[in-house]
A = this chain, B = another copy of it.
Amino acid sequence: MMTEHPQRRTTRQRTAIGEFLAHAGDFRTAQQIHEQLRMGGDRVGLATVYRTLQSMAEGGEVDTVRTADGESAYRRCTTSGHHHHLVCRSCGRTEEIMAKAVEAWAATIAAQHGFTDVTHDVELYGLCARCGATSTR
- A interface residues with partner B (beta carbon < 8 Å): 66, 70, 72, 86, 88, 95, 97, 99, 101-102, 105-106, 109-110, 113-129, 132, 135, 137
Tell me if A109 and B99 are in contact (CB < 8 A). Answer: yes
A132 → B minimal CB distance (Å): 4
A39 → B minimal CB distance (Å): 26
Tell me if A125 and B121 are in contact (CB < 8 A). Answer: yes
Residues of B within 8 A of A116 (CB): 126-127, 129, 132
Tell me if B122 and A110 are in contact (CB < 8 A). Answer: no
Residues of B within 8 A of A101 (CB): 101, 105
Residues of B within 8 A of A118 (CB): 124-127
Say how many copies of this protein the assembly contains.
Answer: 2
Q: List 17 A-B contacts (CB under 8 A).
A: A70-B70, A86-B113, A95-B113, A97-B109, A99-B109, A106-B124, A114-B129, A115-B132, A116-B126, A116-B129, A118-B126, A119-B124, A120-B122, A120-B125, A121-B121, A121-B124, A121-B125
Tell me if B127 and A115 are in contact (CB < 8 A). Answer: yes
Tell me if A86 and B66 are in contact (CB < 8 A). Answer: no
Which 6 A-B pairs rank lowest in CB-CB distance, beginning with the nearest? A118-B126, A114-B129, A115-B126, A116-B132, A120-B124, A121-B123
